[in-house]
Homo-oligomer: A and B are copies of this chain.
Amino acid sequence: MAGRVTIKSIAQDLGISHMTVSRALSGHPNVQKETRAAVLERARELGYVKSAAATTMRGDATKIVGLLLPNIVNEFYARFANVMALDCEKHSYHLIIHLTNDDVEIERQSLERLREVQARAVVMVPAPGKSDGSNPHLEAMQVIQLIRRRKLPFAHGAVLVDDRAALRDAVIHLAGSGHRAITYIGADGALSSGRKRLAAYRQGLKAASLAEDPGLIHRGAPSFEMGRAAADLVLDGGKATALVCGGFEISNGALSALMARGIQPDGAFAFVGYGDPTFYAWVGGGVSTVRVPVESLAQRAVELVAAGQDKPGMRNDASETFMAELIVRGSGRQYSEAP
């Protein structure tokens, strides 16, 4: 009805200058005690809220933090977002979430929109697709890459995972349980994470003195569907007795392929997933997996964002790496020859 409540409308209401209202509201010392009280009370009554738009336009940094994730249904990403949202609440940041579905074009758009609202920082899982060297202008925001890493033409932070030992151990463990045909499903070489994980798988084979069989390696753009399709291929082949996954989405997709066939990931067919959703412990005899420390990753990400605010203009190019860990459950424990 009466339009927005602003410092001016309050000032008019009280018959004073809008500057006095501003000072009273922002706790400036130079205000008469009673005046301040009157302003505070009237503001509360009227339901005044400071306009973030005005503040932003004056040049103050926003409290907006962007988060770009492939999706938010995968429990890893969900947990990451959950922890970040909670931590952002502490700093009273606004968390804007964009889902990219690992599509570079959507990623580009999302970043542009975040630039429009002058997001202070963006935490992003870079999409694996080819980036045509676009978006050279996001220097305005602090950028923190998550899990994966793409080359950027400016300084940026990174929160990464070192899963090499865990993946290698997974292969060694499976071999130790008697498996000889161990399949790997992972991301292609578009990003370094995909290359590193495959290398770790190979190291595992070598350590276990197993020969590499190219037919047992499936790679592609990482997605739930890709994981499912590849696992179907593996199961149709009937050669492999064990499967190691190199990606969150891939892992869930592959597992769903097993479940669709009623295959329990246990003795006869071994499965090592990636990421550790709660339910992995509950399926079959428990799904073995490479666990990634989500909480630590998310907390560190917000810490980097918060740190970036102290040195405005400075670009935080800190990069931190967390170790993944192999969790062995029923699904990888023992190889039992089919009866």
Contacts and interface: CB of A to CB of B under 8 A. Distances in A.
A241 B115 CA distance: 56
A256 B277 CA distance: 13
B259 A137 contact: no
A277 B277 CA distance: 12
A49 interface: yes
Given A50-B116, A71-B82, A72-B78, A96 B99 contact: no
Interface string A261-300: 0000000000000000111011100000000000000000
Interface stretch (A30-38, A86-94, A184-192, A318-326): A86-94
Given A279-B282, A282-B283, A85 B57 contact: no
Nearest to A106: B89
A53 interface: yes
The 8 closest A-B pairs by CB, nearest first: A47-B137, A279-B279, A53-B56, A52-B116, A78-B78, A53-B57, A52-B117, A53-B53
Interface of A: 4, 47, 49-54, 56-57, 62, 64, 71-73, 75, 78-79, 81-82, 85-86, 89, 92, 94-99, 106, 109-110, 112-113, 115-118, 136-137, 140, 255-256, 259, 277-279, 281-283
